[in-house]
Amino acid sequence: MAKRKRRSAPSAPVSEPPVRPGLLSPTRPVPPEIGRPPYADSGDPGPSSSSTVRTLDEVARMRRAGNAAAEILVEAGHCVRPGVTTDRIDAVVHEATIARGGYPSPLNYRGYPKSVCTSVNEVICHGIPDSRPLADGDIVNIDVTIFLDGVHGDTSVTFLVGEADDHSRRLVAETRTAMDEGIDAVRPAQPVNAIGRAIERHARKQGLGVVREFIGHGIGTEFHSGLQVKHYFDPRDDTLLVPGMTFTVEPMLTLGHPACALWDDDWTAVTLDGRRTAQFEHTVLVTDDGVDRLTVLPDGTAPADVFA
């Protein structure tokens, strides 16, 4: 049988014009009665010390944090339209988080200045909300994390702004599918690298790149804990999954080459070639016979499905 040819990405223009940094609004305050994570004042989360496996009580709290994160992401998604600034999305996420009694986990995490990440077009992740209005045809990832009742829930969706071109639509749709294939590879006694294997396989079939510099992570009482979840296959990652583990699956796929660069704000990661990139994220739980998505609405709907 003939060797299958690698399908190359159809040519798409570099995202034009490039995203440039805007102005930041003043720091948004969090009321004193809201429970704060340990880094809220110092900015320093310290070394990770938590177990990779959650207690039943922690899992129950993570379901509520996950539901809240999903609801906040849906609220944010409803205000995506041309002309809305990413700072406005930050205000909506900040208020919606506090309204649920939670702390917006990104705020002052390692000094991050805002309450959500908003990553537009060629921005891979960790875009900082600012005065830039969304433009018709943009794509924007909104990455929400809430700290509620001592645990975090972390989830993101990439939204189309107005009428996006076909390349962008396909990138967004296939990135979501890649995340779902990665999550569907989760079950007890499987190695953690089964996740990246599934994501990478899907990306390759679609001629899309997989960003390697940012990975999924253990999550629970800590925002980012020990377990590392690569979105590509690494044969060395043979840690076996165990019921009660909680972590994120959050692949970033690219239309062009997946190499990245960092803006001089030290947060905003962009593709080196300037072509577009998309991301989706769920926080998941390894169950006795498979996997549960924790960052869904109370009726089980994923935030992305509200907009599909």
Give the full edge-to-edge strand order of the sheet including 277-279: 209-210, 252-254, 277-279
Q: 15 or 295: whose CB is closer to Co ion?
A: 295
Distance, in Å, from the CA atom of 157 to the CA atom of 66, rounded to the nearest integer, reads 14
Which ranges of 105-190 would DSSP assign to H, the alpha helix?
166-184
Residue 117 found at the interface with ligand MF3 (CB under 6 A): yes
Residue 237 binds which entry of ligand MF3, Co ion, none, CB below 5-8 Å type-dependent: none
Residue 232 binds which entry of ligand MF3, Co ion, none, CB below 5-8 Å type-dependent: none
Strand partners, 262: 269
Tokens of 126: 């960790």
Binding mask 157-196 for ligand MF3 (x = CB under 6 A): ----------------------------------------
Distance, in Å, from the CA atom of 208 to the CA atom of 15, rounded to the nearest integer, reads 16
Q: How far is the CB of 223 from ligand MF3 (least distance, A)?
A: 7
User: Interaction with ligand MF3 in 223-252: which residues (CB under 6 A)?
Assistant: 248, 250
Tokens of 62: 């993570």
Q: 90 or 250: whose CB is closer to ligand MF3?
A: 250
Tokens of 183: 């999550």
Tokens of 68: 């809240």
Cα atoms in the Cβ-side hemisphere of radius 13 Å centred on 162:
10
Q: Are 256 and 236 in contact (CB under 8 A)?
A: no
Q: How far is the CB of 114 from ligand MF3 (least distance, A)?
A: 8
By the 10 Å C-beta count (0-12 exposed, 13-18 middle, 19+ buried), 104 is classed as buried
Residue 147 found at the interface with ligand MF3 (CB under 6 A): no
Strand partners, 154: 145
**Residue written as token pair 């339209």:** 81
By the 10 Å C-beta count (0-12 exposed, 13-18 middle, 19+ buried), 290 is classed as middle
Residue 126 found at the interface with ligand MF3 (CB under 6 A): yes
Stretch that binds ligand MF3, among 55-63, 84-92, 106-114, 293-301 (CB under 6 A): 106-114
Tell me the C-alpha to C-alpha distance, in Å, between residue 63 and each of 142, 161, 278.
20, 30, 26
Q: 104 or 209: whose CB is closer to ligand MF3?
A: 104
Mapped onto helix, strand or coil, the DSSP state of residue 35 is: coil
Q: How far is the CB of 18 from ligand MF3 (least distance, A)?
A: 21
Q: 125 or 208: whose CB is closer to Co ion?
A: 125
Binding mask 71-90 for ligand MF3 (x = CB under 6 A): --------------------
Residue 112 binds which entry of Co ion, ligand MF3, none, CB below 5-8 Å type-dependent: ligand MF3
| Interacting residue with ligand MF3 among 75, 122, 222, 281 (CB under 6 A) | 281
Site size toward ligand MF3 (CB under 6 A) is 12
Q: How far is the CB of 97 from ligand MF3 (least distance, A)?
A: 13
| Interacting residue with ligand MF3 among 106, 129, 251, 303 (CB under 6 A) | 106
Omega of the bond leading into 17 within 30 degrees of 0 (cis): yes
Q: 145 or 175: whose CB is closer to ligand MF3?
A: 145
Query: Which residues of the chain form contacts with ligand MF3 (CB under 6 A)?
Result: 106, 109-110, 112, 117, 126, 143, 145, 154, 248, 250, 281
